[in-house]
């Protein structure tokens, strides 16, 4: 296994420029083009005013053209990995030999439907899939095989603590993120298979080490807005930030936490904990053990 970076980040799809296939639409431009074309074909018709029935008909046509082009844009975007969702994403994944995993089966007795792997997780596995075509030599190949072994694994990392040794760390999707024994066993079964593990690699699988931390903050609000609404918005923004950092090796930034809490209506944020950034190692993951947000 290569000893280059132990934590590999796939291309950040959110940072890709807008694809050229997506047309920038303007109703006014379409309308003007249709009116100009009509005048070209019917130069003798000079009643070109807003109230004229011909103009109204052209406006209806322009709006329909706008909708048609927007539909084309949406269909084009649905073919891109960054934007595809649902069954469109399933078809893209199938091209790479990747299928959406079942998190939990359907229960006919209760009528509960099967819970399937979400789009973001499937999209990440599709990005890693080319490295999984071979044995698990590259870091990304180990991560791909680990994520494919069990749909309930939130994240995985692969490090090489010594020559020929590979340590795969797993982050669970429930509780504080500690990987369960059955998750570890499932990944071990895949990664130690002769068709996956390089003959020279000694592979060990473990749970990521969970680094707990507490968040304590006071929000000083502008006068006027309902404090309960602002607090709810701040809590939602904080939850989104923490979800984005719920990965192995992801730094927990004090400024990131404060920034998430700085929603509209908040004058200042007094962050009491954490007092500094929380450094997370390549086999570790952060977990917000307690969260206390007050308003003043």
Over residues 45-85, the pLDDT tens digits come to 877 788 889 999 999 999 999 999 999 999 999 999 999 99
Task: Show the tokens assigned to 222.
Answer: 């502008």
pLDDT at 5: 40
Strands 284-295 and 209-221: parallel
For 177-200, write each residue's pLDDT tens digit: 999 999 999 999 999 887 676 666
Does residue 240 contact residue 203 with C-beta atoms inside 8 Å? no
pTM to 2 decimal places: 0.72
Q: How far apart are CA 285 and CA 153, in angstroms?
A: 13
Q: Helices in the chain by DSSP H: which ranges?
A: 27-41, 53-77, 86-95, 119-128, 139-149, 181-191, 227-244, 254-261
pLDDT at 6: 39
Angle between helices 27-41 and 53-77 (to 10 degrees): 130
- Mean pLDDT along residues 252-270: 97
Angle at 231 between CA 230 and CA 234, to 5 degrees: 85
Q: How far apart are CA 259 and CA 216, in angstroms?
A: 14
Residue 2, pLDDT > 70, answer: no
CB neighbour list of residue 196: distance below 8 Å, 6 or more residues apart:
135, 136, 145, 190
């Amino acid at each position: 296994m290569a000893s280059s970076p132990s934590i590999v980040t796939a291309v950040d799809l959110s940072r890709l420029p807008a694809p050229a296939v997506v047309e920038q639409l303007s109703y006014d431009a379409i309308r003007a083009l249709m009116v100009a074309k009509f005048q070209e074909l019917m130069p003798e018709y000079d009643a070109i005013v807003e109230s004229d029935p011909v103009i109204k008909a052209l406006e209806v046509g322009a709006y329909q053209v706008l909708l048609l082009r927007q539909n084309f844009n949406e269909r084009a975007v649905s073919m891109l990995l960054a934007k595809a969702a649902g069954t469109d994403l399933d078809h893209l994944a199938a091209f790479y030999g990747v299928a959406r995993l079942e998190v939990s089966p359907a229960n006919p007795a209760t009528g509960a439907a099967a819970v399937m792997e979400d789009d973001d997780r499937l999209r990440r596995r599709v990005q890693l899939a080319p490295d999984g075509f071979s044995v698990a030599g590259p870091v990304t190949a180990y991560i791909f095989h680990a994520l494919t072994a069990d749909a309930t694994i939130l994240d995985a990392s692969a490090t090489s603590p010594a020559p020929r040794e590979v340590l795969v760390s797993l982050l669970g999707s429930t509780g504080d993120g500690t990987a369960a024994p059955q998750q570890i066993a499932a990944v071990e079964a895949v990664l130690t298979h002769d068709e996956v593990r390089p003959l020279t690699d000694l592979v060990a699988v473990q749970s990521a080490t969970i680094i707990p931390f507490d968040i304590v903050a006071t929000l000083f609000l502008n006068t006027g807005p309902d404090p309960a609404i602002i607090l709810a918005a701040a809590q939602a923004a904080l939850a989104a930030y923490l979800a984005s950092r719920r990965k192995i090796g992801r730094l927990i930034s004090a400024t990131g936490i404060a920034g998430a809490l700085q929603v509209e209506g908040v004058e200042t944020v007094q962050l009491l904990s954490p007092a500094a950034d929380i450094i997370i190692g390549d086999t570790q993951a952060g977990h917000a053990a307690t969260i206390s947000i007050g308003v003043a």
